[in-house]
Structure 1
Amino acid sequence: MSDSPRRRGRPRSTDADAAILDATRRVLAEVGWDGLTMAEVAARAGVAKTTLYRRWPSKHELVVDAVAALFAGLALPDLGSLRADLEEVVARFAALLARPEAQASLYALFAEGTRDATLRARIREAVIAPMKSLVHQGRAAAQERGELPPDGSRAAAAAEADLIYDAIAGTVEHRVLVTGEPADPAWIRRFTSLLLLPLGAG
């Protein structure tokens, strides 16, 4: 059996990938979705266009991965309590959304996603699903500490985790991207308190 296309040729360079994704976000921040071209991204990243197209055959794929790479840096803290973990996650998320390149990338994806169901599916897969996994991890850690009751069923646990993610992502994105108000420590504490009430965290 012949080698798969992924195994043939030179191995992918993680440095080149990082440079391309960073260039994508910078170009988006400067010229927006319509102004972004694969040629400009390649030039900014210092790679050949053929190198770029081998990795990302379309602008959609490229921008989704550029956004996913930003959020990949988010991790679940282990600060000893559900409240402390939630406050830290919200603070990190808000700080990430405040970055100009993150805002430009998300605005572009939101706008294009309303017109393209395939793009929305890619966003859910590459950006949203990994972030939802943090909620599942946080719930499991809180249950081990006895702060949350055990799951009644797998389906109920998944539904609750989805709601928690929607509440965090929707509220923080509205605060930072829509109203432009600061997600300062006092606001984060109030928001976390609201989240914890229906969860019955002890």
Structure 2
Amino acid sequence: MHATPPSDAEVPDAPRRRGRPRSDAATSAVLDAAYRLSATEGLRGATIQAIAAASGVSKMTIYKWWEGRLQLLIDAYMRQATVMLPLSETLPPPEAIRAHVQQYLVALRGDLGRVQLAVLAECMAETGNSELFVARYLSVRRALGVRVIRRGQRDGSIASQRPAEALYDQIYGTIFYRFQFGLKGLDKGFVQALVDTAFAA
């Protein structure tokens, strides 16, 4: 899974751009700066100018690599979420999902949760919907989760035979909804029971 947009070298038949080739170190610096500023300063502080200053990469270069701030913030969020929230494809599926939702719960209470709120706010402000977030991040993570759940249904470790997509949405959609709107009761016991209920026959 790529957390950043592919470089020209990774895209077949991509037209060559003039100037210096894309630097992995510079890309990482931009993504780190975008994530850090979103977490600590919110959207008001995470401007392209501030990101350029914090990363040491020019605004012109940033705009060559990303269409705009929204795409950059989503990629910064995805990169960090991929590192912080690995979903095992080797553990027994119920165990993998249980571990993952607990990690997600902890992450939401920290910087990742603040950046998630900022990214979704930027999506609504820029486009009026969350389609770009879904296409660039959520669809990738959802596909992985659905794959793990299907494996559990095939091996019998997950008793429910409801569509794997419905089970994934029941679990993660509930967590997302409660976090997004600040509802009480989103704790370790709640998410454990949520998974157990979803996976029961």
Q: Common fold, TM-score beyond 0.5?
A: yes
TM-score bracket for the superposition, by shorter chain length: 0.7 to 0.9
Question: Does residue 1:70 correspond to 2:80, yes or no?
Answer: yes
What TM-score, normalized by structure 2, do the two folds share?
0.76
Question: Does residue 1:98 correspond to 2:109, yes or no?
Answer: yes
Secondary structure at the residue paired with 1:164? Answer: helix
Question: Which position in structure 1 is the counterpart of 2:29?
Answer: 19
**Stretch moving more, 50-59 or 121-130:** 50-59
Task: Show structure 2 runs of 5+ residues with no match.
Answer: 1-12
The AA in structure 2 aligned to 1:40 is A
Per-residue deviation at 1:26? 1.4
Q: Distance in 2 between matches of 1:19 and 1:181?
A: 37
The AA in structure 1 aligned to 2:29 is A
Question: Which position in structure 1 is the counterpart of 2:172?
Answer: 169
What RMSD, in angstroms, separates the aligned Cα atoms of the two structures?
2.9
Deviations 1:97-124 (A, max 9, x none): 2222x22322122223334447622101
Q: Distance in 1 between matches of 2:156 and 2:138?
A: 27
Is the alpha carbon distance of 1:69 and 1:145 closer, same or farther for their aligned partners in structure 2, counting shifts above 3 Å? same
Please tell me whether the aligned partners of residues 158 and 199 of structure 2 are also in contact (alpha carbons under 8 angstroms): no
Residue identity (%): 26
Task: Show structure 1 runs of 5+ residues with no match.
Answer: 152-156
Is the alpha carbon distance of 1:6 and 1:75 closer, same or farther for their aligned partners in structure 2, counting shifts above 3 Å? farther
Question: Which position in structure 2 is the counterpart of 1:192?
Answer: 195
Q: Distance in 2 between matches of 1:187 and 1:88?
A: 13
Deviations 1:71-103 (A, max 9, x none): 223333246533212211211222322222x22
Per-residue deviation at 1:135? 2.0
Question: Does residue 1:112 correspond to 2:122, yes or no?
Answer: yes
Is the alpha carbon distance of 1:48 and 1:135 closer, same or farther for their aligned partners in structure 2, counting shifts above 3 Å? same
Please tell me whether the aligned partners of residues 94 and 183 of structure 1 are also in contact (alpha carbons under 8 angstroms): yes
Q: How many residues align?
A: 187
Q: Distance in 1 between matches of 2:89 and 2:76?
A: 27
Q: Distance in 2 between matches of 1:146 and 1:13?
A: 46
Is the alpha carbon distance of 1:150 and 1:166 closer, same or farther for their aligned partners in structure 2, counting shifts above 3 Å? closer
Alignment of 1:1-202 (within 5 A): 4-6=14-16, 9-73=19-83, 74-78=85-89, 80-100=91-111, 102-117=112-127, 120-148=130-158, 160-177=163-180, 178-179=182-183, 183-184=187-188, 186-197=189-200, 200=201
Deviations 1:125-171 (A, max 9, x none): 111101111222212321342335798xxxxx8xx333223222232
What TM-score, normalized by structure 1, do the two folds share?
0.76
Per-residue deviation at 1:174? 4.1
Q: Distance in 1 between matches of 2:150 and 2:199?
A: 15
Please tell me whether the aligned partners of residues 91 and 188 of structure 1 are also in contact (alpha carbons under 8 angstroms): yes
